[in-house]
A = this chain, B = another copy of it.
Amino acid sequence: MLRTGEDYLKAIAVRKNVEIFVMGKEVKDITQDPFLKPSVMAFKATYDAAWEDDTRELARAKSPFINEEINRFVHIHQSPEDLAAKVKLLRKLTHKTGACFQRCVGWDALNTLYIVTKMMKADGRPEYYERFTDYLKYVQRNDLALAGAMTDAKGVRSLKPSQQPNKDAYVRVKEVTSDGIIVSGAKANITGVAATEEIIVLPTRAMGQEDAEYAVAFAVPTDSPGVKIVVGRQVNDARRFEGGDIDGVPYAFNHEGLVIFDDVFVPKERVFLLKEPKYTVPIVEIFSAYHRQGYGGCKAGLGDILIGASLNLAKQLGIEKAPHVQEKLTEMIFYTETMYAAGIAASLNAVKLCEDCYWVNPLEANITKHWVARLPAILNQLAVDIAGGAVGTAPSEWDLKNPKLRSYIEKYFQGVTEFTAEDRLRMTRLVENVGLGVAFQIESIHGAGSPAAQRITFNRVYDFSYAEEIAKRLAGMKNNLVWKKEAEPWRGTETERMASQTMKNKS
């Protein structure tokens, strides 16, 4: 079933018993809440995309599981082209929302669990794969809005889950019952969660046997008893309560939330990993690489918006032909397209883990994210440079709307006569809200793992000893070099090693 955006709105409005808090107050209908409505609208855009001319093709896919056309956001990638379509779709969708539309995490979680449960099956544990594919069909048939919940509260970062002073610092299996499990803990920074129907929970780090009770993956409806969502604050969030249409977020914006699992029951058929820490390694590797790849699309899309906004403001100010402005715009293209190119490489240079398991190239996905952690701050800097000090000093829309002030604002905020002062205020606020917004300034750094996590991957995947042997040979030192036959010089990931031991033989 392919939902429309309206279908989604209706569904999300009728969730029962959902416990969502915003700024300390409980919110029942998020579609009417000024804080969360932009987030709902951003989520909705992923549904509309399947029906709009320009995105229809990218936003739909054919599911081999239910043999129907589905929304790509619940699709299991079947080819490198599918992976590239993800990046392309995300870039285009960002052009529509100006913000994160929040549906990638759940999507990446589906694809992760598909591969890992298939690994488990190849390892002789078919039940997880069966449960998961049942769940997948349910999601695809109903085109559900999913959250992916990975990051735990984490407490003391230097301690393992079982070493924490707070036993619930990582989500854990508190009890196993005959028909399911009871979980406790919290997941933090969960994108879009208040606007979803289901939450898929994955472990956030590789674990050893001592942390077995924390090695758990499952799905629950967002309105399950015991689930509480505390929506987080963001830069400029309080402007949403003003009721204006210029200074705050005019249309869409993402949110993140803390999801508390207060002894939540999960039925057996929704449990996809239970106390088998060995599989936390591929879960984390696969998910994080998928998610890092995606940023090549959405952050490039935000880059496009800042380029367009900067160009427009340059025109408004009459400086669009100044060489330094043109150099800055060119530099912005360079950075924007770098993020995208890396995401495309991670997609088309995919790793095929089994017959229908297409994983992104893990090294290139991490390259993508590592640039995403660096370039947006510079993109914003360049945009602000062109846009002018007004980004930090322009009057509010309420000044423009005050009849005593309107003529002054119109007189003193206009640049060239082709544009009005209101045009300038609107575009200036877009630069402020996008360039300094959470998606570009915070999520770009920490989303899908902080920069240090990408660096660990670089070090794991890169074949240092091979590089050293090459250098020794060229330097004329004795060495043990055996030339690699692989077309690419790096070592595989742990996931690739596990997959080659299981699925490549058996599936």
- Contact status of A467 and B311, CB under 8 A, knowing A24-B405, A378-B377, A477-B423: yes
Q: A458-B330, A471-B312 are in contact. Are A489 and B389 (CB under 8 A)?
A: no
Q: Which of A309-356 contact B (CB under 8 A)?
A: 309, 311-312, 317-319, 321-324, 326-327, 329-330, 333-334, 337-338, 341-342, 344-346, 348-349
In A151-206, the 8 Å CB interface with B consists of 151, 153-159, 165-166, 168-169, 186, 188-189
Contacts of A446 in B (CB 8 A): 384-385, 388-389, 392
Measured between beta carbons, the chain B residues less than 8 angstroms from A430 are 471, 474-475
Task: Find chain B residues with CB under 8 A from A231 CB.
Answer: 395
- Residues from chain B with Cβ under 8 Å of A65 in the complex: none
Given contacts A333-B459, A445-B381, contact A413 B153 (CB under 8 A): yes
Closest CB-CB distance, A427 to chain B, in whole Å? 5
Partner among B262, B304, B319, B349 whose Cβ is within 8 Å of the Cβ of A470 = B304
Q: Does A50 lie at the interface of the complex (its beta carbon under 8 Å from any beta carbon of B)?
A: no
Task: State the oligomeric state as a number of copies.
Answer: 4
For residue A393, which residues in chain B have a CB less than 8 angstroms away from its CB?
Answer: 188-189, 232-234, 256-258, 438, 442
Cβ-based interface call for A95 (8 A): yes
Judge whether A213 is part of the interface by a CB distance below 8 angstroms: no
Task: Let me know if B488 and A415 touch, CB within 8 A.
Answer: no
Known: A346-B341, A470-B308. A427 touches B477 (CB 8 A): yes
Can you identify 15 A-B contacts, CB atoms within 8 angstroms? Answer: A24-B396, A158-B322, A159-B318, A230-B395, A230-B399, A230-B405, A232-B390, A238-B242, A309-B468, A341-B349, A341-B367, A345-B348, A384-B446, A423-B475, A426-B476
Would B377 and A380 count as touching, CB distance under 8 A? Answer: yes
* Stretch of A7-15, A70-78, A243-251 at the chain-chain interface: A243-251
The CA of A356 and the CA of B321, in the complex, are separated in Å by 41
Q: What is the minimal beta-carbon distance from A212 to any residue of chain B, in angstroms? A: 22
Whether A394 sits at the interface, judged by CB under 8 Å, is yes
Interface size range of chain A in the complex? 35 or more
Q: Which of B84, B329, B411 contacts A168 (CB 8 A)?
A: B411
Q: Is A36 an interface residue (CB 8 A)?
A: no
A446 to B313, CA, bound (A): 15
Query: Which residue of chain B has its CB nearest to the CB of A169?
Result: B412
A16: CB under 8 A from chain B? no
Using CB atoms, name the residue of chain B closest to A374: B381
Main secondary structure of the interface of A (DSSP, over half): helix
Say which residue of B256, B436, B464, B477 sits within 8 Å of A235 (CB atoms). B436
* A21 proximity list for chain B (CB < 8 A): 395, 399, 402, 405
Q: Provide the A214-251 mask, 1 if CB < 8 A to any CB of B, else 0.
A: 00000000000000101111111011011001110011
Quick one: which of B236, B245, B344, B489 contacts A349, CB cutoff 8 A? Answer: B344
Q: Does A305 contact B (CB under 8 A)?
A: yes
Nearest Cβ on chain B to A364's Cβ, whole angstroms: 5
The interface stretch among A52-60, A105-113, A276-284, A493-501 is A52-60
- Residues A450-500 near B (CB distance < 8 A): 450-452, 455, 458-459, 462, 464, 466-472, 474-477, 483-485, 487-489
List of B residues within 8 angstroms of A154 by Cβ: 317
Q: How many angstroms between the C-alpha atoms of A188 and B409 in the bound complex?
A: 11
- A327–B324 touching, CB < 8 Å: yes
Of B236, B395, B415, B423, which is within 8 A of A232 by CB? B395
Answer yes or no: A207 CB below 8 A from chain B CBs: no
Please name the residue on chain B nearest to A368 by beta carbon: B341
A37 interface residue per 8 A CB criterion: no
Q: For the complex formed, measure the closest distance between the CB of A87 and the CB atoms of chain B, giving whole angstroms.
A: 9
User: Any chain B CB within 8 A of the CB of A30?
Assistant: no
Say whether A503 faces chain B, with CB atoms less than 8 Å apart: no
Q: Does A391 contact B (CB under 8 A)?
A: yes
Q: Across the interface, which residues of B come within 8 angstroms of A120, CB to CB?
A: none
